[in-house]
Structure 1
Amino acid sequence: MAEPCLSRACVTLGTSHFKEANERVRAALAEADVVELRDVCAQRYLGCAMPVGKRLEIHGVPGNDMASYLDGGAIEVFGNAQDQIGNTMNGGSIVIHGRCGDAAGYAMRGGRIFVRDGCGWRVGIHMKQYEGRRPAIVVGGDAGSFLGEYLAGGVIVLMGRPGQYLATGMHGGVIYLREPLAADEVPEGLVLEPVDADDRALLADLLGEYNAHFASDLGAPVEATGEGYYRLRPASSRPYASLYAS
């Protein structure tokens, strides 16, 4: 069966105020399935709570809190993005053809974020998962400090090097690292170990999708088998129980 023809619209934002910009974007999304945004200049809140079946294609640099509460829609940024993308997102996808700033995926509850290059501080802070919802963030470069801070669920894949204070307070979920940590770099209460067959299957899925988005940008796909990665996970279901009164 042939896919339905999607309706499209184009909006040029320029230096318009973020309130006016978002009003124009929402009006365009009400009429079209795909909205291309041109000349984006740091307007905040673009694509917030966008539902399934809607798509934004952003050319320029979106401002903070892009895709907050994203509810199943798809956003692709052809350039860099600023802080707090995907804040508390429920589902959908975010694709960044560049790098992103701090706190991407803050309290993320579902969906996937793919960042071609590196990211800032506190990415994936307090991510969580419930039943069938398992959010994922894939970062192709280095990460700033506090990656996966207070991680409660979900998946983070990092192809570059982490910054300081990796996974501080992590008590759920998993972080996959392409580069191993020294023994004294593994945070207390966590375990670093080679991946197993289930991990490799998950990594193959996520890295395959990363390649689908970025292989043409990079000039070649990244290795997508998951071989050679390491899994960082909590040592128990209550790794910090000793810090609290029984």
Structure 2
Amino acid sequence: MAAKRKQKTLTAGRTYYKQFNEEIRALVNEGVTDFVIKECNGQRYLATALEGDLVFDVYGVPGQDLGAFMRGPKVRIHNNAQDGVGNTMDDGRVVIDGIAGDVIGYAMRGGEIFIKGDVGYRVGIHMKAYLDHQPKIVVGGKAGDFLGEYMAGGIILLLGMFSDKPDAPIAGRSLGTGMHGGVIYVRGGVPEDQLGPGLTTNPVDSDDLKVIEGLVNEYAKELQLDSKAILSENFVKIRPFSHRPYGNLYVPC
């Protein structure tokens, strides 16, 4: 028999972020599993380091480092999000109905981050696979410079479809710079001059398509989008050309 869930609605308003997070943690310790947060006004660190089967519905715009070190909860943001979502996140899922800022998924080691719109700079930097965890980021819009910088594992899927920047390239400069693991999939394609040193795009194969289809279906379900429309275009993949892309720059001992 499934454990009974307990819901609590909180109004963030002008409450100081530290006080607000302490209140949430106290409620988790009392057995609250489902949170509805109204009037979120930049409060930082929401759901940070929380574990287990917790659910957060956030209305308003949360502050930096939402879901940092998170291990298990599901967070839905019915608006935009600031920088650092999913910083070093281990597990769980974050769904963002709008746009998101810089360094999303920094050093992320597991779970998923689904963003409907555009993202800022250095998204997915230092992402890495951890044991059997495979972190995944899906961006429905476009990305700024250094997407996937120093990426060591996981999957980034960039769609370029739901963007407020019609004249911008699908990704900024230096995509995948220093990448030494994982894979970046791009819907349609990306100009070669936007890629980091030594990287090229290649057509996806049947195994890649299975991965993309599974991820797109999950993403579309969460954001109530048409998965067939997303999958109607070709995809390319970007993989590292070396596990030590800058090894030749080090002086041997």
| TM-score, length-scaled by structure 2 | 0.90
Would you say 1:10 and 2:19 are equivalent positions?
no
Contact 1:28 1:35 in 2 (8 A): no
CA distance in 1, matches of 2:103, 2:37: 23
Q: Per-residue deviation at 1:224?
A: 5.1
Q: Per-residue deviation at 1:208?
A: 0.5
Alignment correspondent of 1:96: 96
Instruction: Point out the more displaced range, 180-189 or 201-210.
Output: 180-189
CA distance in 2, matches of 1:204, 1:182: 23
Alignment correspondent of 2:219: 210
CA distance in 1, matches of 2:6, 2:228: 33
Alignment correspondent of 1:47: 47
CA distance in 2, matches of 1:226, 1:112: 23
Alignment correspondent of 2:115: 115
Q: How does 1:224-243 map to 2 (within 5 A)?
A: 225=231, 228-243=234-249
Q: Per-residue deviation at 1:129?
A: 0.8
Amino acid corresponding to residue 171 of structure 2 in structure 1: P
SS of 2:221's partner is helix
SS of 2:58's partner is strand
SS of 1:14's partner is coil
CA distance in 2, matches of 1:222, 1:94: 23
Q: Percent identity?
A: 42
CA distance in 1, matches of 2:14, 2:66: 17
SS of 2:229's partner is coil
SS of 1:60's partner is strand
Q: Per-residue deviation at 1:170?
A: 0.9
Structure 1: tracts of 5 or more residues without a match: none
Cα distance change on mapping 1:10 and 1:131 into 2, 3 Å:
same
> What's the C-alpha RMSD, in Å, of the aligned pairs?
1.8
Alignment correspondent of 2:21: 22
Q: How does 1:141-180 map to 2 (within 5 A)?
A: 141-160=141-160, 161-180=170-189
Alignment correspondent of 2:167: none
| Stretches of 4+ aligned residues off by more than 3 angstroms | 2-5, 182-186, 220-227
Residue by residue, what CA displacement relative to the aligned partner does 1:56-80 show, whole Å, maximum 9, x if unpaired?
A: 1111110011111001111111100
Alignment correspondent of 2:72: 72
CA distance in 1, matches of 2:45, 2:240: 34
Amino acid corresponding to residue 209 of structure 1 in structure 2: E
Cα distance change on mapping 1:36 and 1:222 into 2, 3 Å:
farther
Q: Per-residue deviation at 1:197?
A: 1.0
Amino acid corresponding to residue 16 of structure 1 in structure 2: T
CA distance in 2, matches of 1:153, 1:36: 33
Alignment correspondent of 1:186: 195
Residue by residue, what CA displacement relative to the aligned partner does 1:62-110 show, whole Å, maximum 9, x if unpaired?
A: 0011111001111111100101011111111111011111111001011
Cα distance change on mapping 1:121 and 1:182 into 2, 3 Å:
closer
Contact 2:153 2:182 in 1 (8 A): yes
Q: Per-residue deviation at 1:227?
A: 5.6
Amino acid corresponding to residue 15 of structure 2 in structure 1: S
Q: Per-residue deviation at 1:34?
A: 0.5
Instruction: Point out the more displaced range, 153-162 or 125-134.
Output: 125-134
CA distance in 2, matches of 1:33, 1:120: 31
CA distance in 2, matches of 1:11, 1:154: 34
Cα distance change on mapping 1:222 and 1:125 into 2, 3 Å:
farther
CA distance in 2, matches of 1:223, 1:152: 30
State the number of aligned residues.
Answer: 242
Alignment correspondent of 2:86: 86
CA distance in 2, matches of 1:125, 1:225: 26
Structure 2: tracts of 5 or more residues without a match: 161-169
Q: Per-residue deviation at 1:32?
A: 1.2
Amino acid corresponding to residue 88 of structure 2 in structure 1: T
CA distance in 2, matches of 1:3, 1:229: 41
Amino acid corresponding to residue 18 of structure 1 in structure 2: Y
Amino acid corresponding to residue 192 of structure 1 in structure 2: T
